[in-house]
Amino acid sequence: MAPTLDTVFSALADPTRRAILQMLLEDDMAVTDVAEPFEMSLAAISKHLAVLTNAGLITQEKRGRVKWCMLEPDALKSASVWMQGFGQFEPVNLDAFEAFLERELGGEPS
């Protein structure tokens, strides 16, 4: 099913899950490696990963014995768009946005 704002925001509401997303920002990871820094069981992490998958925030792919977790950044799009609806009051991170543009577009020419 298509992830909803409900599932995306509630997935983001948990600090463990946000930490996982940040780890995956660096690189794809196996489930066991995702779990390593946390002081909770592998099963708990497995559940968190299921929540993130359900929200469309990550995808998982089994290669051999290992299941890899990969960030799916598009999933943040709908949530981000929703939040920007409030930007008319507080120009949402124009700074961050401009920094992004500069990084992304500034390096592109040629």
Chain residues in the site for a second copy (CB under 8 A):
5-6, 9-10, 12-15, 18, 21-22, 25, 71, 73-74, 76-77, 79-93, 96-97, 100-101, 103-105
Quote the tokens at residue 28: 């794809």
> In what order do the strands lie in the sheet containing 66-71?
29-30, 66-71, 58-63
Name which of 46 and 78 has its Cβ closer to DNA: 46
Nearest approach, Cβ of residue 65 and DNA (Å) = 4
Nearest approach, Cβ of residue 75 and a second copy (Å) = 9
SS (H, E, C) 48-72: HHHHHHHCCCEEEEEECCEEEEEEC
